[in-house]
Amino acid sequence: MSRRPRQYRDDRGHPVMIGYFAAGAGIGATLYFVFAFMLQTGLEDALPYVALSALIGGLVHLTRFRGVLWGLAGLLALFFVVAIYTPVLYGPAERLVREDDLRPADAIVCLSSGVTNEGRLDIGGTERYLTALRLAEEGYADTVVRTRLPDDYAPVDADVEWLRAGLAPGAEIATVGPVGSTWDEAEQVRALAQERGWGTVILVTSPMHTRRAAAVFEKTGLTVISAPAESREYSRTPPHRAWDRAYMLRRWLYEVAAWHYYRARGWL
C-alpha cells in the first residue's frame, strides 16, 4: 500500500504548510516568553532567542510531533492556572523564607536589587534597604553594609544617603562591590568581615530569597541571622490576590532553579 503524499496545499490551493509553520512558530515564541518572564532572565536581549524558539516551534509543528508542542503548551497553561488561582503554592513559597529571631549583631547586610536609570533603588532594593535601616535605628547594629551593582548600572549613592539621613542618621553605611550574584555578595562581605573582625551579621533580602542567601553566606563561615525584608510588592499572608500568587510563582520558580544551580557549583 503506497503512502499518501504530503499535502502542501488545500483544496483551494492555499499553502497549508505555511499555516502549520506559523502556528508552531507562535507557540514556540510564546513558550520562550513565558519561561523567560517566569525565570526573570533573557528578556533584555530577547530577539535572537525569540527567533530561535519560533524557528524550532515552526519546524516541530511541520512534523508528526506537533502534538507534543500543543501538549506542552496545554500543560503549561494548566500549571499557571492552578498555581495562580488556587492556594497550592502558599506552602512551597513560604518554605523558601527563613526568618530568625533577631538579636544584636556586628553588622546588618543589605543585599542589592535593581536600580532605575535615574539612580533610584527599585522596589525590591527599597524594601531591603528600608528594613535594614529600621533594624539599625532599633539598635541591632551600627553598620549597614550595602552591595553595589556593576558600573554599567546608574549610581544610587544620592538615593541611599537621602534615605539613611531621614530614617537612620546614626548608622554607618559601608559598601562592597561590584557584585553580580549572591555568591559574589557573600564573598565580598566575608572579606570585609575579616578585615573588621565581624563574626555575626543580620542578612536582609527579599523574603523568598532568604533561605538561599543565608545558606550561601553561612558557607563562607559567617554566622547569619536572617531577616526578610518587609514586602511591599506582594502579601505573604491571606487573603491573596491573583497578582500575589503570580508573583510568588515567579519567585518560586526562580529560587528553585537558582538553588539547584548554586548547589551544583558548591555554593551551598
The C-alpha atoms of residue 209 and residue 228 are separated, in whole angstroms, by 8
5: in domain? no
pLDDT digits (tens, 9 = 90+) for 35-84: 666 665 555 566 677 777 888 878 887 788 888 888 888 888 888 888 88
Question: Is the domain of 135 the same as that of 200?
Answer: yes
Whether 2 maps to a domain, the answer reads no
Residue-wise pLDDT tens digits, 94-136: 999 999 999 999 999 999 998 999 999 999 999 999 999 999 9
Cell numbers for 232: 511591599
111 within domain boundaries: yes
Number of structural domains in the chain: 2
Q: Are 26 and 147 found together in one domain?
A: no
Q: Which residues contact 91 (CB under 8 A, 6 or more apart)?
A: none
Same domain, residue pair 151 and 197 = yes
Residues 45 and 170 in one domain: no
CATH number at residue 128: 3.40.50.620
| Residue 74 exposure: Cα atoms within 13 Å on the Cβ side | 6
67 contact partners, CB below 8 Å, separation of at least 6? none
- Shared domain for 35 and 142, answered yes or no, is no
The residue range of the domain holding 143 is 94-265
- Based on the fold, state whether residues 81 and 101 are members of the same structural domain: no
Domain presence at residue 21: yes
- Beta strand pairing status for 172-176 and 223-228? unpaired
In a domain, 181, yes or no: yes
d(CA 240, CA 127): 19
Instruction: Decide: helix, strand or coil at residue 227.
Output: strand
Q: Which three cell numbers stand for residue 234?
A: 506582594
Question: Hey, which bits of 65-152 come out as E strands?
Answer: 107-110, 143-147
In a 3-state reduction of DSSP, which class is residue 223?
strand
Residue type, 3: R
Pairwise CA distance, residues 33 & 27, whole Å: 10
- Listed in sequence order, the residues at least 6 apart from 130 whose beta carbon sits closer than 8 Å to its beta carbon are 163, 167, 229, 230
Is 49 within the bounds of a domain?
Answer: yes
In the three-class reduction of DSSP (H, G, I as helix; E, B as strand; rest coil), residue 129 is classed as: helix
Residue 251 lies in a domain: yes
Judgement on whether residues 190 and 220 belong to the same structural domain of the protein: yes
Same domain, 259 and 235: yes
Which residue has cell 528553585?
A: 256
Residue 237 counted as domain residue: yes
pLDDT at 191 over 80: yes
CA distance 216 to 177: 17
Whether residue 115 is found in the same domain as residue 139: yes
Top pLDDT among 43 and 260 is at 260
Cell 510563582 found at: 249
Predicted confidence at residue 139, as pLDDT, reads 97
- Residue 26 shares a structural domain with residue 75: yes
Residues 125, 147 share a domain? yes
Residue 245 has pLDDT above 50, yes or no: yes
